[in-house]
Amino acid sequence: MSSPFSDPAATQRVPLPEAAKKKLIAIVGPKGYLDRPEDLSLYEYDGSVDKARPEMVVFPRTTEDVSAIVKVTAEYGVPIVGRGAGTGLSGGAIPVAGGVTIGFSRMNRILEIDLENERMVVQPGVVNLDMSLAVQAMGFFYAPDPSSQRACTIGGNVSENAGGPHTLAYGVTTNHVLGLEFVLPDGSVHTTGGKEPDAPGLDLVGLLTGSEGTMVLVTKVIVRLMKTPEKIKTILVIYNSPSDCADTIADITARGITPVAVEMLDGEMLRMVEEATHAGYPLDAAAVLLIELEGLTEAVEEQTGQIREACERCGAREFRVAKSAEERDLLWKGRKNAFGAVGRVSPSYYVQDGVVPRTQIAPTLRHIAAVAKKHNLGISNIFHAGDGNMHPIILFNPHVPGELERAKAAGEEILTYCIEVGGSITGEHGVGMEKNELMSKLFSAESLDYIGRFKTLFDPAGRLNPGKVLPTGKGCLEIRQRPGSPVL
């Protein structure tokens, strides 16, 4: 099924009246906006493969600025899209209907650090890693760590409910967000949740976290901080067979052990990573596991022994424990710079984000290999193996006619398979415009209708990030979204 938003040129775009533009400039000032084509071209894409250009980009500094901007766009019926660092991988920040992109890069202040209560209050433009760096010396950190954590911002993390390697034990963004300040499409400012651990009433924080900017614009976030563990141990396990590598994960789980991270790289991926970062991955391996344990020293040592037994039982050829913090950091540098390493080998790539039960990892890897052969494409794998969050990376050349289309077809086949074996179409990248046409394969018409009702409740005119999450094509199960009209 094809979405009209797969081709931005076919999308009904809403023009920005000159009068509205003048009012927006009055709010943000002469240096607080972009409207030249060469500048707007930098905001027509994110980390996905689609593009669409906004009519204008504005950069608020305060919640009051955001409220005023939203009121102007409401007056003229103009769609709005919130944007963080643009590192998203599902098209969530692409303005498919044009309109105004609100860039939160200037709302980048840490407003409060409350170590006694293990809380931090931040604006949406604060970089994820900077939150941990701000409290590192005091023995605290912020747990969710997307691979793009050196660039991605907390507002985008909240919007997409971002995860990362260490969320196997710690959970994703929604498990660490306690309160939000947000702006509704009419420009009104509201708050929900707070510093307290269990706020009474409905969990609106949970509803809005992961809503992908389709319901509100987040202007302030209260997050949970965690204490740095006493002991951290990072392990690299090397295999001659990807299936043996995948089987190890179920064996570890069966022993009642939950590492904070279990990452798997196949042979093709680890060679790209090693050639780029020289992290110490063996070039002749078929697959590796990167495992991290945290906690009390005695517990970590005991778990290391049990994990070694599980790995050897499943055919691991080598079990390495990082001997220093520098060696540990280098192993993680290789993992978190993986997408950049791919750019050295392929002109472009398409990252998928399907989830399967842990017992289905090995069959899913075999299916991915079959899809690669069918479409004559290279596909490498790097993923959060501990929770079955697969990230097949489809390599293609956009300058070769038909390759992008084959890459998209391959991605859809992989995600469809994930659904068929009891999984999902996304674990942390969000639905965006990349996967919205697959929603009808995962949810019933009734469920999609309820999702649409939530969207309508918050955004009755359909102006907030239109064309995302909900299907937009012509099929019978699909929900029509257009700026200026309600979701039906």
- For residue 25, with 0-12 CB atoms within 10 Å meaning exposed, 13-18 middle and 19 or more buried, which class applies? middle
Contact residues for 282 (Cβ-Cβ < 8 A; gap 6+): 238, 270, 274, 288, 318
C-alpha–C-alpha distance, residues 177 and 37, integer Å: 37
C-alpha–C-alpha distance, residues 472 and 53, integer Å: 19
C-alpha–C-alpha distance, residues 50 and 9, integer Å: 11
426 with 353: CB under 8 angstroms? yes
Amino acid 479: pLDDT: 43
229 with 292: CB under 8 angstroms? no
Q: Is it the case that residue 255 has pLDDT exceeding 50? A: yes
Residue 301's CB: how many other CB atoms inside 10 A? 13
**pLDDT > 90: percent of the chain:** 89
- For residue 31, with 0-12 CB atoms within 10 Å meaning exposed, 13-18 middle and 19 or more buried, which class applies? exposed
How many separate helices (H) and strands (E) can be counted in the chain? 16, 20
Closest CA to 465 of 22, 139, 156: 156
Residue 208's CB: how many other CB atoms inside 10 A? 23
Instruction: Please write down the long-range contacts of 3-6, taking CB distance under 8 Å and 24 or more positions apart.
Output: 3/433, 3/436, 3/437, 3/471, 3/472, 3/473, 4/472, 4/473, 5/50, 5/52, 5/96, 5/433, 5/436, 5/467, 5/472, 6/50, 6/408, 6/433
Residues in a beta bridge with 220:
181
State how far Cα 201 lies from the chain centre.
28
Q: Is it the case that residue 171 has pLDDT exceeding 70? A: yes
C-alpha–C-alpha distance, residues 61 and 52, integer Å: 25
Write b or e for each residue in 142-168: b if 16 or more Cβ atoms lie within 10 A of its Cβ, otherwise e: bbbbbbbbeebbbbbbbbbbbbbbbbb
123 with 223: CB under 8 angstroms? no
C-alpha–C-alpha distance, residues 172 and 189, integer Å: 26
Amino acid 302: pLDDT: 97
* Structure confidence by residue, pLDDT tens digits, 353-386: 999 999 999 999 999 999 999 999 999 999 999 9
C-alpha–C-alpha distance, residues 407 and 405, integer Å: 5
Q: Backbone phi, then psi, for 22, in 5-degree steps?
A: -65, -40
* Structure confidence by residue, pLDDT tens digits, 296-354: 999 999 999 999 999 999 999 999 999 999 999 999 999 988 888 998 899 999 999 99
Closest CA to 204 of 442, 457, 429: 457
12: pLDDT confidence band, cut at 50, 70 and 90?
confident
* Structure confidence by residue, pLDDT tens digits, 268-286: 999 999 999 999 999 999 9
Contact residues for 66 (Cβ-Cβ < 8 A; gap 6+): 60, 102, 107, 183, 217, 219
Q: Is it the case that residue 36 has pLDDT exceeding 50? A: yes
* Structure confidence by residue, pLDDT tens digits, 468-483: 999 986 433 344 455 5
C-alpha–C-alpha distance, residues 459 and 215, integer Å: 6
C-alpha–C-alpha distance, residues 429 and 173, integer Å: 12
Q: Which amino acid is at 251?
A: D
Q: Is it the case that residue 37 has pLDDT exceeding 50? A: yes
Mean pLDDT within 430-450: 95
216 with 183: CB under 8 angstroms? yes
Strand-pair category, 261-266 with 348-351: unpaired
Closest CA to 100 of 464, 476, 387: 464
Q: Which domains does the chain have, with CATH numbers?
A: 4-103 (3.30.43.10), 113-130+143-227 (3.30.465.10), 231-340 (3.30.70.2190), 346-436 (3.30.70.2740)
Mean pLDDT value across the chain: 93
C-alpha–C-alpha distance, residues 159 and 9, integer Å: 26
33 with 72: CB under 8 angstroms? no
- CA count, 13 A, side-chain hemisphere, 126: 25
Closest CA to 178 of 114, 261, 96: 114
Amino acid 476: pLDDT: 36
